[in-house]
Copies of this chain bind each other. A is one copy, B any other.
Amino acid sequence: MQFLGYIAAVCTTISFLPQAIKTVKEKDTSSISLGMYSFFTFGVFCWAIYGIYIGDISIILANVITFIFAAIILAMKLKYK
């Protein structure tokens, strides 16, 4: 069942890649919520720090990757809002 945890982690992590690509390519952020990406980017950052604290490599890895994608989307939203 640990396998399901890995599937879940991979899906929620890589899901932000197509959004980041779309946003960078189209430079359109009209229907993206600034509130969502503000909270989310900060939250994922906290998850990464928490992962470092408890020494869980899966939490660190998943959240560092997600943070990069979320930060790109947030930056695009701030630039093109």
Chain A interface, DSSP helix/strand/loop, else mixed: helix
Contact of B23 with A39 in the complex, beta carbons under 8 Å:
no
Judging by beta carbons under 8 Å apart, are A40 and B28 in contact?
no
Instruction: Output the residue of A8, A10, A43 with the most chain B CB within 10 A.
Output: A8
For residue A13, give the distance in angstroms from its CB to the closest CB of chain B.
Answer: 8
Are A11 and B30 in contact, CB atoms less than 8 angstroms apart?
no
Question: Is A50's CB under 8 angstroms from B15's CB?
Answer: no
Q: How far is the CA of A5 from the CA of B49 in the complex (A)?
A: 9
The number of residues on chain A lying at the interface, defined by a beta carbon within 8 Å of a beta carbon of chain B, is: 42
* With contact pairs A11-B42, A31-B28, A43-B12 given, residues A50 and B18 touching in the complex (Cβ less than 8 Å): no
Contact flags A33-71 to B (C-beta < 8 A → 1, else 0): 111111110111011011001100000000000000000
